[in-house]
Amino acid sequence: MEKVSSAKDRLLKSGQDWLGGEFRGKALVILCAVIMISATIAITIFLGTKGLQSFIKDGISLIEFITSKTWNPTDKANPKYGTLPFIFGSFAVTFLSALVAAPLGIGGAIFMTEISSSWGRKILQPVIELLVGIPSVVYGFIGLSVLVPFIRENIGGLGFSLLSGTIVLSIMILPTVTSIATDAMGSLPGALREGSFALGATRWQTIKKVLIPAAMPSLLTAIVLGMARAFGEALAVQMVIGNVKNLPSSLLDASATLTTIITLNMGHTTYGSVENNTLWSMGLILLVMSFAFILLIRYLSARRKL
Amino acid sequence: MTFTTLTRNVFDIKDLNLWYGEHHALKNINFPIIKKEVTAMIGPSGCGKSTFVKTLNLMINYVSNVKMTGEINFNGHNILNEKLDLVELRKKVGMVFQKGNPFPQSIYDNVAYGPRIHGIKKKKHLDEIVTKSLMNVALWDEVKDRLHAPALGLSGGQQQRLCIARALATKPEVLLMDEPTSALDPISTLKIEELILELKEKYTIVIVTHNMQQASRVSDKTAFFLMGELIELDETSKIFSNPRDERTEGYITGRFG
């Protein structure tokens, strides 16, 4: 009368050393997940409470904070807390640099995947990886010593300008856009190309009418990720943008962004002061925006068709 | 006599040799393909039948390191030597692949893709072509109410018929089919086979298949390939009842392959 053990029994037996094997592994990965999640939640709560203080405790109106053009927190008698020029600056450099980097990055991706894969992978891929590895302070430094004087002498203005910030950021987000766009184009099934070629389409027709539309959701994700990076970049932009409080009226005007104002003023404001609190509020705006970018990316990924 | 034979042949392949790098994949193939007939290619995997079909519309050019010698005459023009317009060739020689590969676009846009890239812009004309092509593959009744729905929402069999419609929309003379039913269920397969029998009224069809029953059901001529050689090409009825070569007999009776 041999008792036949079921597969389930045998599986359970093999995991009998549960303190040593199964359990320990499981506990380890759960711990990692918990740490990551709690860190994110903690930062959000901290930034939320700090960022809301200027509105709750110091009584600054949120509407004024977002829409007023005057930023003058140090005026004792009549301090002004309008961050519109910085919000505008942040969005301006973000969209303008995406406008430059998107066609360049997607063009490079198409070159690598469709036109010259061997040459592209050999030369362009390492170049892109190298671009990622350069620290942002170096980008800023190069921008400061090459780009700013170049614009001052050849185009006009002070050189410290929205334009300089845009150019530096474009180069910085180019690798992000290119590498994600390359993955997007490269992961398209070969059957799509075959199908198009077999109908007599040329390479350009195939790229334009089949491949780019098929990869569009992922290409948009690439652009949005690049924009998220541009929106949050502080150091390099701060070095070339000029950091003035006024709303810029042209590309050659000096400007400021939310991030540059925070990095410039964080050091010399007293912790707990109204000015310090308003900097936290700007940080909160950045956080809200990055959540918005993430939501956008999720929405785009859900639309992916292949 | 010679003259009539010539004009009946859409394709006339002479001494075709093909190498993938060092690998001699097609050896001295001589192969006439006759107008408005269905020619089936059978043979074990790697025998060269798919390679052969891909030479007919020069899709083989996208495989790296391919070398070819010999002649592939299409309507009297050697497509290997003469400087020819690939676009024109592929317009006339359509292809359907192993797995339905509709573009991630609407049903309408899929069928209209070929005509559009070949310069047809008028909506009325396109509508007409799309309707006719979809009717030709018996898909019209199933999709007429959702022409602008995504093609990828169709079933596997419908997708494959859509791809046939897409190929027909450029008004080809020849339709190459590379194992068109290998990814389909028996009922969808049956529909495609019925379709092939209807289409041969108007088109010359070359079909690669692993399914010998399929070859015997749909084709007029059958060609047996083995290790890059064309062993036998004859009337389908003859191949399956009384093959000349014992290797052909061995393969169709299931002794190898």
Place B2 in a pLDDT band, splitting at 50, 70 and 90: very low
Sheet of strand B38-42: strand arrangement? B77-78, B66-74, B9-20, B23-34, B229-235, B221-226, B38-42, B204-208, B174-178, B93-96
For the stretch B69-118, pLDDT in tens is: 999 999 988 999 878 888 999 999 999 999 889 999 999 999 999 999 99
The verdict on a CB contact (< 8 Å) between A202 and B87 is yes
- pLDDT score at A9: 67
The verdict on a CB contact (< 8 Å) between A199 and B117 is yes
Q: Kindly state the tokens that stand for A75.
A: 């005026």
Exposed/middle/buried for A148, CB within 10 Å: 0-12, 13-18, 19+? Answer: buried
Which ranges in A21-161 belong to alpha helices (H)?
22-56, 62-67, 84-110, 117-119, 125-133, 136-142, 148-154
Please name the residue that has the structure tokens 């389908």: B236
Place B3 in a pLDDT band, splitting at 50, 70 and 90: very low
Instruction: Check: CB of residue B48 under 8 Å from CB of residue B227.
Output: yes
| Beta bridge pairs of residue A255 | A242
| Beta bridge pairs of residue B222 | B40, B234
**Among partner residues A192, A200, A210, which is closest to B90 by beta-carbon distance?**
A200
What's the number of domains chain A is made of? 1
Q: For B67, which DSSP code?
A: E
Q: Kindly state the tokens that stand for A203.
A: 């390479």
User: Is B116 among the domain residues?
Assistant: yes
Instruction: Check: CB of residue A226 under 8 Å from CB of residue A177.
Output: yes
Please name the residue that has the structure tokens 């004009």: B7
- How confident is the prediction for chain B on average, in pLDDT? 91
User: Is A63 among the domain residues?
Assistant: no
For residue A201, the enclosing domain spans 82-302
Instruction: For residues B124-145, give the mean pLDDT.
Output: 94
List, in order, residues 6 or more apart from B232 with CB less than 8 Å away.
B223, B224, B239, B243, B244, B245, B248
- pLDDT score at A301: 81
For the stretch B195-227, pLDDT in tens is: 999 999 999 999 999 989 999 999 999 999 999
- pLDDT score at A197: 95
The verdict on a CB contact (< 8 Å) between B97 and A191 is yes
For the stretch A132-180, pLDDT in tens is: 889 999 999 999 999 999 999 999 888 999 999 999 999 999 999 999 9
CATH number, domain of B125, equals 3.40.50.300
Examine the pLDDT at B45 and tell me if it is beyond 60. yes
For residue B161, the enclosing domain spans 36-52+85-252
Q: Kindly state the tokens that stand for A222.
A: 């690439």
Exposed/middle/buried for B83, CB within 10 Å: 0-12, 13-18, 19+? Answer: exposed
User: Is A42 among the domain residues?
Assistant: no
The verdict on a CB contact (< 8 Å) between B97 and A305 is no
Instruction: Check: CB of residue B226 under 8 Å from CB of residue B49.
Output: no
Distance CA B135, CA B144 (A): 10
Distance CA A93, CA A95 (A): 6
Distance CA A218, CA A131 (A): 22
CATH number, domain of A218, equals 1.10.3720.10
Distance CA B154, CA B143 (A): 9
- pLDDT score at B135: 93
Chain B positions in Cβ-Cβ contact with residue A189 (cut-off 8 Å):
101
The residues of A whose Cβ lies within 8 A of any Cβ of B are 189, 191-202, 205, 209-210, 213-214, 305-306
Distance CA A152, CA A252 (A): 9
Chain B positions in Cβ-Cβ contact with residue A304 (cut-off 8 Å):
none
- Spans of chain A, pLDDT less than 70: 1-21, 304-306
CA dist A89 to A66, A69, A86, A255, B42, Å?
13, 12, 5, 6, 67
Q: What share of chain B is helix, strand, coil (3-state, %, to 5)?
A: 40, 25, 30
Distance CA B242, CA B253 (A): 11
Q: What b-and-e string marks burial along A245-273, b requiring 16 or more CB atoms within 10 Å of the CB?
A: bebbeebbbbbbbbbbbbbebeeebeeee
- pLDDT score at B1: 35
User: Is B29 among the domain residues?
Assistant: no
Examine the pLDDT at B54 and tell me if it is beyond 80. yes
- Locate the chain A residue with the closest alpha carbon to B98: A191
For the stretch A254-289, pLDDT in tens is: 999 999 999 999 888 888 888 899 999 999 999 999
Place B46 in a pLDDT band, splitting at 50, 70 and 90: confident
Our CA dihedral for B8, B11, B17, B22, rounded to 10 degrees, sits at -160
The verdict on a CB contact (< 8 Å) between A202 and B97 is no
User: Is A57 among the domain residues?
Assistant: no
Q: Is B45 helix (H, G, I), strand (E, B) or coil?
A: coil
Query: What's the complex ipTM?
Result: 0.90
Q: Kindly state the tokens that stand for B118.
A: 């070949």
What's the number of domains chain B is made of? 1
